[in-house]
């Protein structure tokens, strides 16, 4: 089977149970969409929200989780108190065992994810990795194809494009970007769908940076505002033109992040540490939640290295793992190994991009276990 045919098969198999789940939703029922804070998850949430509105007549409520990649007991309790008929969870890697898991398993719940698969009972679980273990396919692309299965995705294509580009999944999603170029060539410009070019020379890349800046500058609260803008906006042009008070906030944060990003790139080049030959470690001196964006940007300049960037937050180090294009190191396994045996430590993610969290006092042990 060729690569294109294999991808089509994976997408079709992934979204089939989601199509069946959506078809069972009735007008007037209450649907809650739970999501994290980064661009892929908020774009996924909004695309699903619009799908339900456009094809089922349902006004789904968005529920921003406390954590970007996990559902904690507090989150599950909050969702349960909303008394939903259906729960849809997008781009979330982990669910705490115990009460949180039981709440989701006792409701009509749909998971749309692309991380390492997790075992959940009595839920509809959709993940392309169930059908192709090594595939990297952002959830924004999965829900774009889900929307497309119901009708013309013209209203959501640019939103899905922002999510896919932000999550570095352009290579598996060329049909999406071809469609965006067809309906609005200005969004992608003269680029040939290379991620670096799209980020640096397209309107879509500019929008991706604007939305990411909300999370970087203000954390969860900034992400909530960014999600609200995405949910309410009729055209990306009103974002670029700062057509609302929330959009003006996004533009202000974007400029703050741009300046901090430039400062940190300079600082990184001065203070980075080379560990074990192919690992570069750097502690980020910033109050902004910038580690993921910074590590993703820097990785393009270190083709044969693994970048490990750590940032202090609430008594812990939040850590981002990224690898250069020439590296084959499994960063999911690397992160899990590095936190093994560390009390309060957790880690994991994708082969090419992963994360971890450890108490500050355990940094030396973490570095030794890399």
State the pTM of this model: 0.89
Q: What's the confidence (pLDDT) of residue 4?
A: 67
Q: What's the confidence (pLDDT) of residue 277?
A: 78
User: Per the domain annotation, does 229 fall within a domain?
Assistant: no
User: Per the domain annotation, does 188 fall within a domain?
Assistant: no
In this structure, are residues 321 and 353 in contact, taking their beta carbons and an 8 Å threshold? yes
Residues 139, 10 within the same domain: yes
**Per-position pLDDT tens, the chain of length 370:** 456 666 779 999 999 999 999 999 999 999 999 999 999 999 999 999 999 999 999 999 999 999 888 999 999 999 999 999 999 999 998 899 899 999 999 999 999 999 989 888 899 999 999 999 889 999 999 999 999 999 999 999 999 999 999 999 999 999 999 999 999 999 998 888 988 899 989 999 999 999 999 999 999 999 999 999 999 998 999 898 888 999 999 999 999 999 999 999 999 999 999 997 799 999 999 999 999 889 989 998 999 999 999 999 889 999 999 999 899 999 999 999 999 999 999 998 888 889 999 999 999 999 999 9
User: Per the domain annotation, does 246 fall within a domain?
Assistant: no
Residues 143, 280 within the same domain: no
Q: Domain end: 151, 166, 182, which one?
A: 151
User: Per the domain annotation, does 244 fall within a domain?
Assistant: no
Q: What's the confidence (pLDDT) of residue 348?
A: 87
Q: How many CB atoms lie within 10 A of CB 26?
A: 11
Q: Domain end: 151, 180, 208, which one?
A: 151
- CATH code for the domain of 30: 3.90.1640.30
DSSP 21-72: HHHH--TT--EEEEE-SSHHHHHHHHHHHHHHHHHH---PEEEE-SSSSEE-
- Containing H/E element for 125? strand 124-126
User: Per the domain annotation, does 147 fall within a domain?
Assistant: yes
Residue 331: HSE in the Cβ half-sphere, 13 Å Cα cutoff: 24
> Residue 50 is encoded by which pair of tokens?
């619009």
Using CA atoms, how far apart are residues 181 and 369, in angstroms rounded to an integer? Answer: 46
CA 265 to chain centre: 23
User: Per the domain annotation, does 220 fall within a domain?
Assistant: no
User: Per the domain annotation, does 218 fall within a domain?
Assistant: no
Residues 280, 141 within the same domain: no
- Residue partners of 121: CB distance under 8 A and separation at least 6: 105
Residues 13, 146 within the same domain: yes
Using CA atoms, how far apart are residues 37 and 43, in angstroms rounded to an integer? Answer: 10
Residues 146, 284 within the same domain: no
The whole domain housing 355 covers: 272-369
- HEC readout, 178-247: HHHHHHCHHHCCCCCCCHHHHHHHCHHHHHHHHHHHHHHHHHHHHHHHHHHHHHHCCCCHHHHCCCCHHH
Using CA atoms, how far apart are residues 133 and 238, in angstroms rounded to an integer? Answer: 40
Using CA atoms, how far apart are residues 87 and 33, in angstroms rounded to an integer? Answer: 6
User: Per the domain annotation, does 74 fall within a domain?
Assistant: yes
Q: What's the confidence (pLDDT) of residue 280?
A: 97
Q: Domain end: 151, 168, 188, which one?
A: 151
Q: How many domains does the chain have?
A: 2
């Amino acid at each position: 089977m060729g690569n294109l045919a294999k991808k089509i098969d994976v997408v079709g198999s992934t979204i089939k149970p989601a199509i069946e789940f959506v078809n069972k939703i009735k007008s007037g029922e209450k649907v809650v969409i739970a999501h994290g804070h980064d661009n892929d998850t908020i774009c996924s949430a909004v695309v699903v929200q619009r799908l339900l509105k456009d094809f089922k007549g349902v006004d789904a409520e968005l529920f921003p989780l406390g954590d970007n990649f996990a559902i904690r007991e507090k989150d599950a309790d909050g969702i349960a108190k909303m008394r939903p008929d259906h729960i849809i969870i997008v781009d979330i890697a982990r669910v705490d065992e115990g009460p949180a898991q039981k709440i989701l398993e006792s409701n009509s719940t749909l998971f749309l994810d692309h991380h390492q698969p997790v075992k959940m009972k009595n839920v509809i679980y959709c993940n392309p990795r169930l059908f192709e273990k090594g595939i990297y396919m952002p959830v924004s692309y999965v829900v774009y194809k889900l929307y497309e299965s119901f009708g013309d995705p013209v209203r959501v294509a640019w939103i899905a494009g922002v999510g896919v580009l932000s999550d570095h999944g352009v290579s598996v999603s060329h049909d999406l970007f071809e469609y965006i170029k067809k309906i609005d060539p200005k969004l992608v410009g003269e680029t040939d769908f290379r991620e670096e070019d799209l980020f640096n020379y397209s309107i879509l890349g500019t929008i991706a940076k604007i939305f990411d800046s909300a999370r970087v500058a203000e954390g969860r609260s900034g992400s909530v505002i960014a999600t609200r803008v995405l949910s309410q906006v009729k055209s990306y042009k009103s974002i670029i033109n700062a057509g609302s008070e929330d959009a003006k906030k996004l533009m202000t944060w974007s400029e703050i992040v741009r300046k901090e990003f430039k400062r940190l790139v300079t600082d990184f080049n001065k203070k980075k540490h080379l560990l074990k030959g192919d690992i570069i470690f750097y502690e980020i001196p910033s109050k902004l939640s910038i580690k993921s964006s910074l590590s993703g940007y820097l990785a393009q300049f270190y083709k044969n290295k693994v970048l490990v960037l750590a940032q202090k937050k609430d008594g812990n180090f939040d850590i981002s793992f990224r690898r250069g294009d020439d590296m084959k190191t499994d960063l999911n396994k690397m992160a899990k190994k590095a936190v093994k045996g560390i009390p309060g430590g957790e880690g994991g993610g994708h082969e090419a991009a992963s994360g971890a969290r450890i108490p500050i006092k355990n940094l030396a042990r973490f570095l030794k276990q890399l």
